[in-house]
C-alpha cells in the first residue's frame, strides 16, 4: 500500500518535521509513506476575494499535478465527514481489500482547497471544527494513519 500526504507549503519547524519522520518510520512496516510539499502562493495579508480565489487556484493546480488517476483521494476539509479512529482504520482496510492501494490525503493552504481539488477527492474528511496550523495537521494526520494501521493489525498502540 502507498500512502501519500500532499500539503501546501514547507514545514519550517524541526519538531514538526521530526514528528512526521517518526510516524513515517513507524509506518514503513505497513506501507510506503511519503509527504509531498507543493509551494504555497506568496500573497499579501489583505487580499480581495478575487485575489484569494487566484491564490487558491494556483495552489490547487499544484496539488492536482501531484495526484495520479489511480489514487484514492481524501481531502481534508472542515465540512468533511468526521470519523472515529476505528472507522477510519476500517475504511483504509476496506480500500486495500478492494484494490485501492494508492491513497492520497490533501491538506490545502491557509485559504483552503479549490472546488477543483474537492471535486477530484473521493471523500472529504474532517478532524473537527477546530482550525489547526497546516504543519500541525500533517503531524496529526500522520499519527492517525499510523493509528489506523495499528488497529488493522490488532496492536495495542490504540488503547
What's the 3-state SS for the chain? CEEEEEEECCCCCHHHHHHHHHHHHHHCCCCEEEEEEECCCCCCCCCCHHHHHHHHHHHHHHHHHCCCCCCEEEEEEEEEEECCHHHHHHHHHHHHHCCCCEEEEEECECCECCHHHHHHCCEEEECCCCCCCHHHHHHHHHHHHHHHHHHHCCCHHHC
The reply to whether CATH 3.40.1280.10 applies to domain 2-158 is: yes
Looking at the predicted structure, is the pLDDT value of residue 20 above 90?
Answer: yes
What's the mean per-residue pLDDT of the chain? 94
- Residue 27 is assigned to a ligand binding site: no
- Residue 76 is assigned to a ligand binding site: yes
pLDDT at 14: 97
Q: Does 116 or 130 have the greater pLDDT score? A: 116
Looking at the predicted structure, is the pLDDT value of residue 57 above 80?
Answer: yes
pLDDT at 105: 98
Looking at the predicted structure, is the pLDDT value of residue 158 above 80?
Answer: no
Confidence of residue 43 (pLDDT cuts 50, 70, 90): confident
Amino acid at each position: 500500500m502507498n500512502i501519500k500526504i500532499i500539503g501546501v507549503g514547507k514545514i519550517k519547524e524541526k519538531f514538526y518535521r521530526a514528528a512526521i519522520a517518526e510516524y513515517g518510520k513507524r509506518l514503513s512496516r505497513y506501507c510506503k509513506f511519503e509527504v509531498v510539499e507543493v509551494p504555497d502562493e506568496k500573497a499579501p495579508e489583505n487580499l480581495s476575494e478575487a485575489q484569494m480565489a487566484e491564490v487558491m487556484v494556483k495552489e490547487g493546480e499544484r496539488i492536482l499535478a501531484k495526484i495520479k488517476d489511480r489514487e484514492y483521494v481524501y481531502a481534508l476539509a472542515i465540512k468533511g465527514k468526521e470519523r472515529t479512529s476505528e472507522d477510519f482504520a476500517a475504511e483504509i482496510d476496506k480500500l486495500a481489500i478492494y484494490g485501492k492501494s494508492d491513497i492520497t490525503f490533501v491538506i490545502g493552504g491557509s485559504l483552503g482547497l479549490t472546488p477543483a481539488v474537492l471535486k477530484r477527492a473521493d471523500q472529504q474528511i474532517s478532524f473537527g471544527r477546530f482550525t489547526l496550523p497546516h504543519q500541525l495537521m500533517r503531524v496529526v494526520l500522520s499519527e492517525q494513519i499510523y493509528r489506523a494501521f495499528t488497529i488493522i493489525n490488532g496492536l495495542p498502540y490504540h488503547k
